[in-house]
Every structure is written in C-alpha cells, then in structure tokens.
Amino acid sequence: MSKIVFLDVDGTLIDYEAKLPASAAKAVDQARANGHKVYICTGCSKAEILQRNLCDLDGMIGGNGAYVEDNGHVVMHQGLSKEDVKNIVDWCNERHIGFYLEANSGMYCNDYMLEQGPETMVKYAKGKGASLENAKSSAQHFIDGFIHLQGDELYRDDVNKISFILRTYQDHLDSKVDFPHLVANTWGGKGEVALFGDLGPTGITKRHAIEVLLDYLHADAKDTISFGDAKIDLSMFECCAYNVAMGNGGFEIKEAADYITDDVNEDGLYNAFKYLKLI
C-alpha cells in the first residue's frame, strides 16, 4: 500500500546548517520510486525552500500550513491581509525589532533585521549543535537571502506569516495580546529561550493543510506518515496515522511519536524509511 509522507524541513529533512544529508536524499528518491508520495510540511515559504538544495518532491506545505502545492499546482494559499501586515510591521518597528516577511515571492526584511539577524541566527545554529564557524556561515547565508525594504514598501499583500526577533519572551506574549485574531508562535528554542516569534492567519496549521491536501488527492489519512522535530509539528501528528520524531527533536515531539529516529546527521531519516518499509 502506497503511503503519503510529510517531512518537516529544518532539523528533519535537512540539518541545522541547511545541508541535505546524502542518505536523506536517497531515502526520498527511493520511496518515490517505490510509489510513495513525499511532501515537505514546513514553516518556510516557497522562496525559502527554493534557496535550499533539496531533493525532488511531490509538493509542499509552507508557511506552517498557509500554502499547499501538489506537483506545481497551488491547492491553497491563505496569507495575512495587507492591513495586518502593516500593523505588524509598524508594531515591530516601534519596538526596534528585526523581522522578515515570509512570502512565496521572497523574504523581505527591515533595517533592524540586518543589524540583529546575524547574531540571532548564530545563536540558533549553535543551539542546534553547529560549531561557531559553521553557525556564522549558516547565519550569513540566511541573511543573504533577504530582500531589504524600507517604509511602506514593507506593507505587502502577499505575506504568509511574519517572523520577528524576540528581545525577550515578553515580545511574544505582547504579540498575542496585541494581535488576538492571529496565531502567535515561537521558534528557535523552547519557552523563554525562544529566539523568534511569528504571527500568521488564524485557522492555519500544518494539520489543516494536510487535511486540505488529502481531500484534493482523494486520499485517506490512514495512509499518512509524518516526520518532525519541534512542537510546531505536533499538529501533523494529530492527523497522520503514524508519526516519527527525529532524535534531535524536543521532549514534547518525542513523547507524542510512534517512533524516534537517530539524529538526522546520522542517517536517521534513511533508517526510519527502511524501518517503515518505504524503501
């Protein structure tokens, strides 16, 4: 029986230095050759994914569920309103917070992101086990991917979600109060050690996007398998029949998993695909 596999990207399909292990690419290629469908299910926008050197896939879910694509066909795209984008941009700028707009057309950042982003991304990569040298290289690659805009150029109508640097955890708590109609998350660490907050449209989750895609494919959830490494991936686990946590993942995702892999850098994905008889 063919399966539909959903893979988180950072820390799952690729490592925290944005490198795709050869064994992971081999696993995906072999699984697809065996008749299984493989999609990425990520917080990244399509623009971010196009900057990564990934293997061939059947499609993607991006923006934590705001965007669904199957073999080049856009199944769903639901982003922030231009008014919401303007309000969040102004809110961040008033606080002197670096942020970037995640759109399928590109990643657009403010002045503060260029100043604050490199140090924050080094912390992120080091927290995931990268050496200082590799963390600096990874951070610079990330920052180089931004399109720098100023003023009302940032008031865009094509934004999936907005990520912003947390000066303290209070910024995240304030975003929940100031934008109660939106979904507020954090990433880059657990709880008060998180490095980023983000804001996206309500009702948008990885679970909802998977359900939309399955309906489009006329497929059954009983044939689905999900792979993730973070709390944001728990919504995938809520709707998929079998769930795999990466060995480098957090406590919550491991507690919810049916199976835990070796670390992604140690052929973890490949070994899991073999265990599940996908290859």
> Domain locations in the chain?
4-78+204-276, 82-200
- What distance in Å separates the CA atoms of residue 164 and residue 109, rounded to the nearest whole number? 10
User: CATH topology for 82-200?
Assistant: 3.30.1240
Comparing 194 with 243, which gets the higher pLDDT? 243
Domain 4-78+204-276: top CATH class = alpha beta
Look up residue 222 and give its amino acid.
K
Q: Is the pLDDT of residue 274 over 70?
A: yes
d(CA 276, CA 155): 46
In sequence order, what E strands does 111-209 have? 146-148, 159-165, 182-187, 196-201
Tokens standing for 164? Answer: 């912003």
Q: Where are the alpha helices (DSSP H) in 146-233?
A: 169-178, 206-217
Alpha-carbon span 245 to 250, nearest angstrom: 9
Query: How far, in Å, CA of 72 to CA of 155, rounded?
Result: 27
pLDDT at 191: 59
pLDDT tens-digit map of 100-141? 999 989 999 999 999 999 999 999 888 877 889 988 988 998
Task: Kindly give the residue spans of alpha helices, DSSP state H, lying in 69-110.
Answer: 82-94
- pLDDT higher than 90, residue 19: no
